[in-house]
Chain A
Amino acid sequence: MSGDLRIDGVSHGESIEFTFEGQPVKGHKGETVAMALWAHGCQALRNSSRDGAPRAVLCNMGICYECLVRIDGAVVRACMTEIEPGMIVERGGKS
């Protein structure tokens, strides 16, 4: 995944690697799944329920449920779930 939207001059803690749709992603301890992916320009997190269109973070504070992903079999909000080493994240919604 290309691109980096992390703000210049912000230092981070420990690096963490997890996967999204089988691709390795690097993030930092304290980041949410949604933000670690967004930083790499990866926005689409789920497919919408009827037309399967890509959907991404809307509210980023746990209200809209647009960022639902699948982690360890559970459907969770990517914007409210912090990344952990080795976490396996899959796109939510219709596949």
Chain B
Amino acid sequence: MTRDAVIEADVGVVGAGPGGMAAALRIASSGLSVVVLDEGARPGGQIFRQLPEGFAHASPPTEPPSHGAGHELLHALTGSKVSVESHATVWDARAPRGDDLGCLWFEQGVASRALRCKAIVLAPGAMDRCVPFPGWTLPGVITAGAAQVMVRGYGIKPGSRAVVAGSGPLLLPTVTALVSAGVKVVAALESAPRRAALRALPGVLRSGARLREAFFYARQLWRSGVSLQFSRAVFAVEGDGRVQRAVIGQLDREGNPIASTAKTVDADVVCTGFGLVPSIEIGQRLGCRATWNEARGGWHIEALDFGATNVDRVFAVGEIAGIGGSEVAIAEGRAAGELVCAQLQQRGALTHVRDRSRAVRAAADAMLRAFSVPRGVYSLVKDGTIVCRCEDVNAKAVRDASALHGDSLRAIKMGCRAGMGPCQGRICAPSVQAIASRGSTRAWDEPVVQIPLKPVRTSTILDAPKV
């Protein structure tokens, strides 16, 4: 089947996770045409990952209550007129302006295609925040998200003995997924102190859904016999060509490792994640204003009510507008969908969807404020520890470059190549400045956005539809 190189729709949505699905469904229900571009093989995003077609669980694992909403969205999507383009990597974008349509250029397999539309909703999601430690480049060190994709997305165990370490509410689903897969969780380590979890409580209590979710994980954890240990981290990982051992230990109040508490445990996989970082590149490319808020994962696109941004007819929902979880993404997706329809159909927008998205966002902010990454964990990074994995740049090179050229992301990149590889600094940028500035708490530089937004084939760029 040959597909048109250029397609058109009233609305283009980027990302088929909870926010993108909710927005697209709301828009399609008003009779407008909507195309969702998604990089995955199937809709659902990372949070609602499904097994591939043809795979089945003999006895499906127990799911958290929040996943009910995912099944509802996926089911509704199947019966809707929403068109989903999977395996689609968006590499450039232009906002609609006046009577000119906006455009999203994407690579799909070997095809170079473009979607023209009157409005754009951005729901690209987020990625795990990585904090480097000695040995973290060894095969077998994966992100918490990667572990969940393996288990829930492919029915594959990350390993047989796992250490889970990092910070924030996502450690719990990671432990639960591993246990359900039959992986022995040797240690589950939260770098934040126990009082952080207590500080998160009011935010949890403000949302019924979050409370049910917390109960679910508390029960799963209790059943599995794994206990989450606070103020602890992986100090280093060792092994011959792959992960064989993890050195774990206690952190002091500022998050600095206490060397005397270090002990070595046997493990073949280490799952690590210090919260999430919003994927904002496409928003930046479209001219959306980014803003810094540590509780929301650092740099995120500034979204107003109904997901509107400073760019006309460009909307940002869910994690791109600041980390908040699937409940927030769904509420904001619906709200943005409502305003998109109101604008394109020239009527007023219903305000109750906006009020709902405001409320769930406020609750998420209150909870996530409790889990900021303790600065001290960056002192785990030794001179020889690789920080930029694409270009093999170690921490000493980052510090030297920063001493010579200043501690801006751009200066460090020019000085030592950190952030110059194919991931375009997505993995290292959050740690590069933390390492260079030795723990200062100021806002880091806004990441530099470049075209292509993700590496694509040269032919994709040369053959890009001229629209």
Q: Identify the A interface with B (CB < 8 A).
A: 5-14, 28-32, 35, 38-39, 43-44, 48-51, 53-66, 68, 74, 80, 82
* Nearest chain B residue, comparing its CB with the CB of A44: B139
* 13 intermolecular pairs with C-beta atoms under 8 Å apart: A5-B158, A10-B55, A14-B54, A39-B156, A43-B140, A50-B391, A55-B137, A56-B139, A60-B143, A61-B127, A65-B390, A66-B389, A82-B41
Whole-angstrom CA separation of A13 from B146 in the bound complex: 23
Whole-angstrom CA separation of A74 from B109 in the bound complex: 11
Point out the residues of chain B lying under 8 angstroms from A60, CB to CB: 142-143, 145-146, 149-150
Within the complex, which residue of A31, A64, A65 is in contact with B154, where a contact is CB–CB below 8 Å?
A: A31
Query: Across the interface, do B390 and A62 meet the contact criterion of CB distance under 8 Å?
Result: no
* Nearest chain A residue, comparing its CB with the CB of B41: A82
| B465 contacts chain A at the CB level, 8 A cutoff | no
Tally of B interface residues using CB under 8 Å: 53
Starting from the known contacts A5-B159, A7-B157, 6 additional A-B residue pairs (CB-CB under 8 Å) come to: A6-B157, A10-B55, A56-B139, A57-B142, A58-B143, A60-B150
Interface set, chain B 140-173, CB cutoff 8 A to A: 140-143, 145-146, 149-151, 154-160
With most chain A CB atoms within 10 A of its CB, the pick from B52, B127, B139, B150 is B139
Q: Identify the B interface with A (CB < 8 A).
A: 39, 41, 46, 51-59, 87, 89, 127-128, 130, 137-143, 145-146, 149-151, 154-160, 181-182, 241-242, 279, 389-392, 421-423, 426-427, 454-455, 457
The total of Cβ contacts below 8 Å across the A-B interface reads 136
Whole-angstrom CA separation of A8 from B55 in the bound complex: 12
Query: Across the interface, do A59 and B427 meet the contact criterion of CB distance under 8 Å?
Result: yes
With A5-B156, A65-B455 in contact, do A44 and B241 touch (Cβ < 8 Å)?
Answer: yes
Within the complex, which residue of B52, B150, B392, B421 is in contact with A38, where a contact is CB–CB below 8 Å?
A: B150
Point out the residues of chain B lying under 8 angstroms from A29, CB to CB: 52, 54
Query: Across the interface, do B139 and A43 meet the contact criterion of CB distance under 8 Å?
Result: yes
Point out the residues of chain B lying under 8 angstroms from A39, CB to CB: 156
Within the complex, which residue of A5, A35, A61 is in contact with B145, where a contact is CB–CB below 8 Å?
A: A61
Within the complex, which residue of A11, A54, A57, A64 is in contact with B423, where a contact is CB–CB below 8 Å?
A: A64
Within the complex, which residue of A8, A10, A49 is in contact with B51, where a contact is CB–CB below 8 Å?
A: A10
A2 to chain B, nearest CB (A): 13
Whole-angstrom CA separation of A13 from B55 in the bound complex: 6
